Amino acid sequence: MKYEEWEPLYSDILKKISFSRESDEKSADILSHLLKNDAFPVLRDITSGKDVTVCGNAPVLARELDSVKGVIYAADKAALVLWSHGIRPDVIVTDLDGADEEFLTMNEAGTVIVIHAHGDNIPLITYWVPRFRGPLVGTTQSRPFGSIYNFGGFSDGDRAVFCAYESGAKSVRLIGFDCDDPDVDEIKHKKLLVARELLLHLGHVI
């Protein structure tokens, strides 16, 4: 998705959830200085022309693992569910709030970590990014620059779907998504509503 198409959606999100564009841009700048590599070519090679399964972090994921096939994208902590069942995702899309030591292990084994910068996760970025030794891609929800990309998307799950399409996926199927989860706080509920709208924008109805 071109930024010119994404920007109106982003502006609407900022109004709905009262986030700061300036803080998002500061976080992206910090991430850009910490990244040791730009693995987008690797991400594209893994994904282009392939069928992709994007695994969301809803509790239902563990019951849907038989449906995993093709290139595997995991949204944040969904990677830990996959890993605990002997599945190493090809890609983890994360803002690092669910990061664990296993992320480091998977990254060293070749999993591409797509790290998202936003205004609330600067401490996580400064803690985790220097520890990764494998392929990394940096993203922002504001204007992209240098090796910081904006594929579209807001939460880890819907952003993984946007990322897969922008990396050339032949098809994208979703498992482990639940935008009607009642056991979330008000902010998370708003994020899920935004995720649903964005997925619908891509033609995915959940």
What single letter denotes the amino acid at residue 63?
A: R
* Residues 6 or more apart in contact with residue 24 via CB below 8 angstroms: 117, 118, 119, 140, 141, 142
Tokens read off for 150? 């904006």
* Residues 6 or more apart in contact with residue 185 via CB below 8 angstroms: none
Segments of 68-195 assigned E as strands: 71-75, 91-94, 112-117, 136-140, 148-149, 171-175
What single letter denotes the amino acid at residue 94?
A: T
Q: What pLDDT tens digit does each residue of the chain (206 aa) get? A: 789 999 999 999 888 887 889 999 999 999 999 998 999 999 999 999 999 999 998 888 999 999 999 999 999 999 999 999 999 999 999 999 999 999 999 999 999 999 999 999 999 999 999 999 999 999 999 999 999 999 999 999 999 999 999 999 999 999 999 877 777 677 777 888 888 999 988 888 66
Predicted local confidence at residue 94, as pLDDT: 98
Tokens read off for 98? 């669910």
Please tell me the pTM assigned to this model: 0.94
What is the C-alpha to C-alpha distance for residues 144 and 98, in angstroms, rounded to an integer? 24
Predicted local confidence at residue 203, as pLDDT: 84
What single letter denotes the amino acid at residue 164?
A: A
What is the C-alpha to C-alpha distance for residues 117 and 32, in angstroms, rounded to an integer? 9
